[in-house]
Amino acid sequence: MNEKLETPGLVIRELPLKENHSLLTILTATQGVVTATAYGARKAGSSLSAGTRLFNYAHFTLIESRGRYKVDATRSIESFFGLSRSLEALTAASYFAEVLYDVCVTGQPDVQVLRLALNCLYALVTEKRPIPLIKAVFELRLLAESGFAPELETCGGCGCGDLAYFSPEDAAVYCTQCVQRGSLAVMPAPPGTVQAMRYIVSAPMPKLFAFSIGDASVQALHALCERYLRVQTGRKYETLDVYHALMDPIGDGGKNESDAL
């Protein structure tokens, strides 16, 4: 008996198969990550071609047979076509997709993660916030939604509120005195950065980007959210190297960061 699954979903991976078929990984609202074959999707004139491209958010009708899904129909909701106007935005989106593919679990629906992904792609397309800030918001909130929200209220060593550093390994903030006393692996976290992190982990999803932050704090936020994601997932992401090659081609901080793990 073939089961039909009707669900909104975001295409986070699109692999070409022979005979113009595509293998899709879809982040769905109801089933978590689903893998489905779109037969003939890359053929000119296919009714599936528009709704099955990478980053397409669409209403999917999937047919399940013996544990495998095939795409029966799609109705596009948001194509995020605007990503193709900016190589930087497209590269950041590709990184988001790779991380989602790694972090999200089959059969475990997570509407908040789907909403986070959609919000961040929308922010990239509309260009209302800088790309490094959008990337940091994506990384930190994704970890928080996955059960890895850091402790950001008081110093992890002495409990004081005079915070100056963040430890990605401990998922905690520290004061200067505790850092000087111990051998903690920490990164600078100016007050504006810590405030932004608190906002990002707890803000209602529609207001995720409604906070202000200075340029220096964005730099610190960008560095420590990336490090936090890499420490917590223990993974190396190829698209992150591409992102750094594009965004800071002269500096080598991102490349070294990747190699360090």
Provide φ and ψ at 62, rounded to 5°.
-115, 145
CB of 157 to Zn ion, least distance (A): 4
For Zn ion, give the closer residue by CB, 198 or 255. Answer: 198
Q: Could you say whether residue 186 binds Zn ion (CB under 5 A)?
A: no
Binding of residue 194 to Zn ion (CB under 5 A): no
In terms of Cβ atoms closer than 10 Å to its own Cβ (0-12, 13-18, 19+), residue 217 is buried
Of the pair 113, 155, the CB lying nearest Zn ion is at 155
Determine, following the binding rule CB under 5 A, whether residue 153 of this chain makes contact with Zn ion: no
Q: How far is the CB of 189 from Zn ion (least distance, A)?
A: 13
- Would you tell me how many other CB atoms lie within 10 Å of the CB of residue 250? 4
CB of 181 to Zn ion, least distance (A): 8
Q: Is 166 in a helix, a strand, or coil? A: strand
Angstrom CA distances, 210 to 83, 121, 193, 217, 253, stand at 21, 16, 15, 16, 29
- Total residues at interface with Zn ion (CB under 5 A): 5
In the list 17, 111, 158, 261, the residue contacting Zn ion (rule: CB under 5 A) is: 158
- Shortest Cβ distance from residue 187 to Zn ion (Å)? 16
**259/49 Cα distance (integer angstroms):** 38
Contact call for residue 254 and Zn ion (CB under 5 A): no
Of the residues 33, 92, 134, 175, which one makes contact with Zn ion according to CB under 5 A: 175
List binders of Zn ion among 65-104 (CB under 5 A): none
Burial class (CB in 10 A: 0-12, 13-18, 19+), 25: buried
Cβ of residue 174: shortest distance to Zn ion, in angstroms? Answer: 6
Among 9, 51, 132, 157, binds Zn ion (CB under 5 A): 157
Instruction: Report if residue 178 touches Zn ion, rule: CB under 5 A.
Output: yes
Kind and range of the H or E run holding 124? helix 111-126
Structure tokens at 244: 């750094």
CB of 177 to Zn ion, least distance (A): 6
Burial track 122-154 (b if 16+ CB lie within 10 A, e otherwise): bbbbeeebebbbbbbbbbbbbbbbbebbbebeb
Positions in the binding site for Zn ion (CB under 5 A)? 155, 157-158, 175, 178
